[in-house]
Structure 1
Amino acid sequence: MKSPPAPASAPATAVNPDIDSERRASTFDVEKLVNFWDGGAERTRLRRAVEHVINSDPVFSQENQYFWTPTERYEAAVKRAVHLRQKIKELGWTDDGPEVQFAFRILGSELAFGVHNMVFITTIMKLGTDAQIAKWVPLAKDYHIIGTYAQTELGHGTNLRALETTATFDASSQDFVLNTPKVSSIKWWPADLGRSASHAVVLAQLYTQGVCHRMHAFIVQIRSLLDHSTLPGISVGDIGPKLAFEQVDNGYLRMQNVHVPKENMLSRYSRVASDGSYIKQGSDRINYISMVFTRVGIMSGEILPALAKACVIAVRYSAVRRQSELKPGEKEAKILDYQTQQLKLLPQVATTFAFHLMGSSLEAFCKKVNLQIKTERDFSSLPELHALSAGMKALISATSTAGVETCRRACGGHGYSTLSGLPWLYCRVVASCTYEGENTVMLLQTARFLMKCLALVDSGQPLPQSVSYLSEPVSRYCSAKEKTDFFKPFLYTEAYKHRAQRLIKDSGDKLQSLLLSGFELYAAWNVTSVQLANTALAHCQYIVVKNFVEIMEGLKLEAGVQQVIKRLCDLHALTGILSNAGDFLYDGYITGKQLDLVTSSHLDLLALIRTDAVSIVDAFDYSDQQLNSAIGNYDGNAYQRLFEWAQKCPLNAKVNLAYEKYLKPRLQAAASKL
Structure 2
Amino acid sequence: MSESLQTERKNATFNIKELTDTLNGGPEETRKRKQIESLVFNTPAFHRQDRFQLSREEIYDYSIKVYGELIKLCKKENIEIRYDNPDYVRLVGCIPEEIPVGLHVGMFSSSISDQGTEEQQKKWIPLARNFKIFGTYAQTELAHGTFVRGLETTATYDESKQEFILNSPTITSTKWWPGFLGRTSNHAVIAAQLYTKSKCYGIHMFIVQLRDLKDHKPLPGVTIGDIGDKFGFDTVDNGFLRLDNVHIPRENMLMKYAKVTPEGKYLPPTNAKVAYSAMTLIRVVLVRGSAKALASASTIAIRYSAVRHQTETAPGKEPQVLDYVTQQYKLFPQLATALAFGFAGNYMIDTFNKIHSEISSGQLDALSELHGISSGLKAYTTDTATAGIEVCRRACGGHGYSNACGIQHIYANVLPCVTLEGENTVMYLQAASKVISTIKRLEQLRRSGMDQDEAWNTAGIELVQAAKAHCHYFIVKNYLRSLEKLNMTPSLRKVMNSIALLYGNYGIDENAGDFLESGFMTGEQLNLVKAKILQLLSEVRRNAVAVVDAFDFDDKYLRSILGAYDGDVYNRLYNWAKSSPLNKTEVHSSYTEYLQQLLKSKL
TM-score when normalising by structure 1:
0.87
- Aligned residue number for residue 31 of structure 1: 17
Amino acid at match of 2:331: L
Instruction: Provide the rounded CA distance (Å) in 2 between the counterparts of 1:39 and 1:104.
Output: 19
CA gap 1:391/1:286 in 2 versus in 1, 3 angstroms: same
Instruction: Provide the rounded CA distance (Å) in 1 between the counterparts of 2:589 and 2:270.
Output: 65
| Equivalent residue in structure 1 for 2:411, among 399, 408, 426 | 426
| Equivalent residue in structure 1 for 2:536, among 596, 601, 605 | 605
Instruction: Provide the rounded CA distance (Å) in 2 between the counterparts of 1:144 and 1:639.
Output: 48
| Equivalent residue in structure 2 for 1:565, among 479, 496, 499 | 496
CA contact (8 A) 1:416 1:422 kept: no
Deviation at 1:303, TM superposition (A): 2.6
Deviation at 1:510, TM superposition (A): 1.7
Deviation at 1:281, TM superposition (A): 4.1
Deviation at 1:604, TM superposition (A): 0.6
Deviations 1:575-597 (A, max 9, x none): 10001001111132111001000
Between the two proteins, what is the percent identity of the paired residues? 42
CA contact (8 A) 1:74 1:112 kept: no
Amino acid at match of 2:402: S
Amino acid at match of 1:67: Q
Matched, 1:145 2:145: no
- Aligned residue number for residue 440 of structure 1: 425
Deviation at 1:62, TM superposition (A): 3.6
CA contact (8 A) 1:62 1:625 kept: no
| Equivalent residue in structure 1 for 2:297, among 310, 313, 316 | 310
Instruction: Provide the rounded CA distance (Å) in 2 between the counterparts of 1:113 and 1:92.
Output: 17
- Aligned residue number for residue 348 of structure 1: 334
Matched, 1:658 2:572: no
Amino acid at match of 2:588: N
| Equivalent residue in structure 2 for 1:119, among 95, 103, 107 | 107
- Aligned residue number for residue 324 of structure 1: 311
Deviations 1:608-664 (A, max 9, x none): 101000000001000000000011100001111111112111121156233223211
Instruction: Provide the rounded CA distance (Å) in 2 between the counterparts of 1:92 and 1:426.
Output: 34
- Aligned residue number for residue 565 of structure 2: 634
- Aligned residue number for residue 179 of structure 1: 167
Deviations 1:385-432 (A, max 9, x none): 111011101100010000000000000111110111111111111111
**Structure-to-structure mapping, 1:158-557, within 5 angstroms:** 158-300=146-288, 302-326=289-313, 328-375=314-361, 377-450=362-435, 454=436, 504=437, 507-557=438-488
| Equivalent residue in structure 2 for 1:667, among 595, 599, 602 | 599
SS of 1:169's partner is strand
Amino acid at match of 1:604: Q
Deviations 1:542-586 (A, max 9, x none): 110110111112222101111111111101101100010011111
Amino acid at match of 1:256: D
- Aligned-pair RMSD on alpha carbons? 1.3
Matched, 1:596 2:527: yes
Deviation at 1:270, TM superposition (A): 1.3
Instruction: Provide the rounded CA distance (Å) in 2 between the counterparts of 1:307 and 1:37.
Output: 15
| Equivalent residue in structure 2 for 1:132, among 120, 127, 134 | 120
Instruction: Provide the rounded CA distance (Å) in 2 between the counterparts of 1:566 and 1:635.
Output: 28
- Aligned residue number for residue 49 of structure 2: 63
Amino acid at match of 1:421: G
Deviation at 1:310, TM superposition (A): 0.4
- Aligned residue number for residue 548 of structure 2: 617
Instruction: Provide the rounded CA distance (Å) in 2 between the counterparts of 1:554 and 1:539.
Output: 23
Amino acid at match of 2:418: C
Amino acid at match of 1:664: Q
Deviation at 1:282, TM superposition (A): 3.0
CA contact (8 A) 1:421 1:629 kept: yes
Q: Following TM superposition, where does structure 1 have runs of at least 4 consecutive aligned residues deviating by more than 6 angstroms?
A: none
Amino acid at match of 1:288: Y
Deviations 1:231-256 (A, max 9, x none): 01110000011111111000000001
| Equivalent residue in structure 1 for 2:5, among 19, 25, 43 | 19
Instruction: Provide the rounded CA distance (Å) in 2 between the counterparts of 1:561 and 1:548.
Output: 15
Amino acid at match of 1:74: Y
SS of 1:449's partner is coil
Instruction: Provide the rounded CA distance (Å) in 1 between the counterparts of 2:519 and 2:48.
Output: 53
CA contact (8 A) 2:292 2:342 kept: no
SS of 1:63's partner is coil
Bigger Cα displacement from structure 2, 160-169 vs 280-289:
280-289
Instruction: Provide the rounded CA distance (Å) in 2 between the counterparts of 1:306 and 1:642.
Output: 23
Bigger Cα displacement from structure 2, 402-411 vs 553-562:
553-562
| Unaligned segments of structure 2, at least 5 residues | none
Bigger Cα displacement from structure 2, 526-535 vs 76-85:
76-85
Instruction: Provide the rounded CA distance (Å) in 1 between the counterparts of 2:117 and 2:598.
Output: 73
SS of 2:259's partner is strand
CA contact (8 A) 2:291 2:339 kept: no
| Equivalent residue in structure 2 for 1:91, among 77, 87, 96 | 77
SS of 1:207's partner is strand
SS of 2:492's partner is helix
CA contact (8 A) 2:208 2:248 kept: yes
CA contact (8 A) 2:167 2:246 kept: yes
Instruction: Provide the rounded CA distance (Å) in 1 between the counterparts of 2:65 and 2:594.
Output: 40
SS of 1:259's partner is strand
CA contact (8 A) 2:287 2:344 kept: no
Instruction: Provide the rounded CA distance (Å) in 2 between the counterparts of 1:190 and 1:101.
Output: 21
How many residue pairs match? The answer is: 599
SS of 1:184's partner is helix
Instruction: Provide the rounded CA distance (Å) in 1 between the counterparts of 2:279 and 2:576.
Output: 40
Amino acid at match of 1:245: F
CA contact (8 A) 2:96 2:557 kept: no
Amino acid at match of 2:389: V
Instruction: Provide the rounded CA distance (Å) in 1 between the counterparts of 2:424 and 2:55.
Output: 31
TM-score when normalising by structure 2:
0.97
SS of 2:92's partner is helix
CA contact (8 A) 2:193 2:202 kept: yes
SS of 2:248's partner is strand
Deviations 1:303-336 (A, max 9, x none): 322211100100000000000023x123211000
Deviation at 1:668, TM superposition (A): 5.2
CA gap 1:141/1:298 in 2 versus in 1, 3 angstroms: farther
Instruction: Provide the rounded CA distance (Å) in 2 between the counterparts of 1:110 and 1:442.
Output: 24
CA contact (8 A) 1:115 1:149 kept: yes
Amino acid at match of 1:249: D
Deviation at 1:669, TM superposition (A): 6.8
Deviation at 1:108, TM superposition (A): 5.2
SS of 2:94's partner is helix
| Unaligned segments of structure 1, at least 5 residues | 1-14, 455-503
Bigger Cα displacement from structure 2, 204-213 vs 230-239:
204-213
SS of 2:433's partner is helix
CA contact (8 A) 1:80 1:112 kept: no
